[in-house]
Amino acid sequence: MLLVGILLSTSGFAQSNTLFNPDYNGDGFIGVDDILGALSFYDNAWDGPVAIVIYGCTNPSYLEYDASANVDDGSCATLAVPGCTNPSYLEYDASANVDDGSCATLAVPGCTEPSYLEYDPLANVDDGSCLNSSWTCGEAITYAGVGYSTVQIGDQCWFAENLRTTTYLNGEAIPQIYSNGDWVSTTSGAMAFYNGYLIGGPAYGGHYNWYAVDDARGLCPSSWHVPTDAEWTILTDHLGGESVVADQLKSNYGWYGAPPGWDGSFNGTNSSGFSGLPGGYRSSSGNFANAGYLGYWWSSSPNGSSEWYRGLSSGNGRVSRFSGDRRSGFSVRCVRDAE
């Protein structure tokens, strides 16, 4: 509560600078009437200035400091500590109680250790998400709670299984769409499992439209990505060229030929370790087709208004390069970022 006093310098009293009771009229409040009453008390004897006394904390080093106070009343209690008071910034000082403008670097939680698979180069605050250390290509990794085998082919490290995540890298769900009409009309990321289930086992993975491939939230684990068209070419060139490498990329099971369901010489040798499976595809009209006979994999590279992808088919010794509708649902492989 603000306390005010009146100092008067008089010639009619023995004392000078006498402190007068500020509540002159005794009504419990200090106002203009009290000041006028005090002045009338001294009548014409007053011959000096009137000083208003304001009680408060007069030390600017304290939070309770009152710049208008001129008489210290002992209310100074909390020493001011300048610093960054926003915990969302790296400069945050838990002991500070006065923001001094030093907050400058927004904190970004993540794995900050480059030797871990989960490493996030944008992170500046380690949040404990580093899990897979001392990893080398050929060892399995865990992504979104699912284990994937990997394989080194030339200078590239690839998933040796099709992706089957139902979430983006940031943990947000990828919509699973099974209605043909909804699949055709969507212009955002979506995925589905062939006819609603994992055909032939988990390694067959899911089918993703290209909007999901291109989504900034990421389909692949940190330090991995959906391969570009050029990276697919690096793979096939390393193995001898598109026209002859299909046998090396195909798995040694699961490839059918005529009559339907016959599992014979259409299997590959899988000498590369890529383990390409015929997961079929989902057309731009929403229909699932050709599981056991075809395998299509997206690249991340657009081709005008369409997108590049690669294909393997039963009885064909080449890897085909196509450009297709971004509404199509194809398999996805992840490739390790270049060191």
Give the domain-ending residue among 47, 72, 97: 72
Q: Can you give the pLDDT at residue 4?
A: 44
Residue 183 lies in a domain: yes
Q: Are residues 170 and 276 in the same domain?
A: yes
Q: Are 194 and 287 in contact (CB under 8 A)?
A: no
Determine the pLDDT at residue 308.
98
Residue type, 137: C
What pLDDT was estimated at residue 48? 55
pLDDT at 200: 73
Residues 252 and 209 in one domain: yes
The answer to whether 215 and 287 are in contact (CB under 8 A) is no
Looking at the fold, whether 68 and 93 belong to one and the same domain comes out as no
Would residue 8 count as lying in a domain?
yes
Residues 64, 97: one domain?
Answer: no
The pLDDT assigned to 306 comes to 93
What radius of gyration, in Å, describes the C-alpha atoms of the chain?
38
DSSP per position, 56-92 = EB--TTBTTB-TT--EE-S---SB--EEB--TTBTTB
Residue 300: which residues within 8 A CB-CB, separation 6 or more?
Answer: 213, 214, 225, 226, 227, 228, 229
8 A C-beta contact, residue 163 and residue 156 = no
Q: 273 lies in a domain? A: yes
State the pLDDT at residue 34.
Answer: 63
> Cα–Cα–Cα angle for 294, 295, 301, nearest 5°?
135
Residue 116 maps to a domain: no
- Domain shared by 219 and 323, yes or no: yes
Tell whether 308 and 168 lie within a shared domain. yes
Please check whether residues 43 and 103 belong to one and the same domain. Answer: no
- Residue 153: CB atoms within 10 Å: 19
Count of the separate structural domains present in the chain: 3
Residue 152 falls within a domain, yes or no? no
Q: What is the pLDDT of residue 17?
A: 42
In the numeric block, the tokens 């390790």 are attached to 336
| pTM exceeds 0.95, yes or no | no
Q: Is the same domain home to 177 and 312? A: yes
Does a structural domain hold residue 52? yes
Same domain, 87 and 49: no
Domain assignment of residue 86, given as a range: 81-107
Residues 283 and 266 in one domain: yes
Q: Do both 295 and 205 map to the same domain?
A: yes
Mean pLDDT by 10 residues, the chain (339 residues): 43 43 68 62 52 90 92 94 94 93 94 83 90 85 94 98 96 96 97 85 92 97 96 98 95 78 74 96 95 95 95 92 96 93
What's the rounded Cα separation, in Å, for the pair 216 and 231?
A: 20
- Flag whether 143 is in a domain: no
Does 154 fall in a domain?
Answer: no
Shared domain for 18 and 102, answered yes or no, is no
